[in-house]
Amino acid sequence: MYNARKMKEIPEENRPYEKCLKFGVEALTDEELLAILLRSGSKEHSALELAYQVLHLSKENQGLQSIYHLSVQQLKSIHGIGAVKAIQLKCMGEISKRIAVNVAAKGISFDCPASIAKYYMEQLRHEEQEHLLCMMLDCKNHRLGEELIFKGTVNASYVSPREIFLSAMSYHAVGILLVHNHPSGDPSPSQADIQVTKKIQTAGILLDIPLIDHIIIGDCQYISFRERGLIET
C-alpha cells in the first residue's frame, strides 16, 4: 500500500503519469491505472491510496473486476470518493465489459461453444444472480434473436418450455441454444441444470425446434452440454 498522503511526496519516477510516459501504460499496476482515472486524491489520501482502498473494498472480489460488483454507495463509503468519482468508476467497469463483448462479437460462431462462451463471458460472469438466456437460431445457426427467459435460481419448476418455444416460434427459429451463468464461478452443471435441459430438449424434439446446446458460464470458464455429450444433436 502507498503511504504518501500527497502525490508530490512520491518520488517523481514512481508517480503514475511519469511512469506511464516513460515505460508505457502496460508497466502500470492496477492501483496506478486506477489512480490516473481518479485524477486526484483527498486531503488525507493520495489518488494511489484511494485506488488501493477501492481495489480492496470487497472481501469477496479484489482487483479491478471488483469494481463491477461494487455499488455507488459502497464506493462512496471511502473517504475521498464522492458521487462523481464513484460514477466514473462504475462507468469504467461498464466500458471494459462492453469492449470485451464487442471484441468477442467479431469472432462469434454459434457452431462453436468456445466462441459462444467467449461472447457471453463478460456479460454474465459478474452477475450475482443466475440469468438464463435463449438464442433463437435459423437453419444456418445464425442468431435471429435473444430472450432473457429467467432470472434467479434456475430450477425445472420455474422454467417454462412453453414460454421458450412461443418465443422461438415468434422468431421462426429452427433451433434454440441456452446460455446461463453460475455466480459461484464454477460452471459444473447441477442436477437442476440437467433437469431443465432435458425438459427443454424433450419439448424441442416434439416441436421440431431442437435444443442445439446449453452452455454454462463460470468465472473465465464454461461447460457445453453438447461437448460433454449431455445433448445429442
Identify whether residues 65 and 127 lie together within a single domain.
no
Nearest one of 202, 150, 193, 147 to 173, comparing CA atoms: 147
Q: Is residue 1 part of a domain?
A: no
Give the rounded percent of residues in the chain with a pLDDT score beyond 70. 88
pTM over 0.75: no
Strands of 143-151's sheet in order across: 143-151, 131-137, 175-181, 211-217, 222-224
All cell numbers assigned to 165: 418455444
Q: Please tell me the predicted confidence (pLDDT) of residue 44.
A: 77
How far is residue 19's CA from residue 28's CA, in Å, rounded to a whole number?
7
Q: Which of 66, 101, 136 is the last residue of a domain?
A: 101
Q: Is residue 233 part of a domain?
A: no
Nearest one of 214, 230, 231 to 222, comparing CA atoms: 214
pLDDT bin (cut points 50, 70, 90) of residue 25 is: confident
DSSP for 49-115, written as a single string: HHHHHHHTS-SS--STTHHHH--HHHHHTSTT--HHHHHHHHHHHHHHHHHHHHHHHTT--TT-HHH
Is pLDDT above 70 for 61? no
Identify whether residues 116 and 97 lie together within a single domain.
no
Identify whether residues 220 and 116 lie together within a single domain.
yes
Identify whether residues 55 and 134 lie together within a single domain.
no
Q: What's the number of domains the chain is made of?
A: 2
Domain of 215 in residue numbering reads as 112-224
Contact (CB, 8 A) for 136 and 145: yes
Mean pLDDT of 12-31: 84
Identify whether residues 36 and 11 lie together within a single domain.
yes
Nearest one of 44, 38, 78, 40 to 58, comparing CA atoms: 78
Nearest one of 184, 208, 86 to 94, comparing CA atoms: 86
Q: Is residue 34 part of a domain?
A: yes
Q: Please tell me the predicted confidence (pLDDT) of residue 103.
A: 63
Quick check: helix, strand or coil at residue 202?
helix
- Which secondary structure element, helix H or strand E, spans residue 11, and what is its range? none
Residue 106: CB atoms within 10 A of its CB come to 7
Q: Please tell me the predicted confidence (pLDDT) of residue 107.
A: 53
Q: Is residue 125 part of a domain?
A: yes
Is pLDDT above 60 for 50? yes
Q: Is residue 106 part of a domain?
A: no
Terminal-to-terminal C-alpha distance of the chain: 54
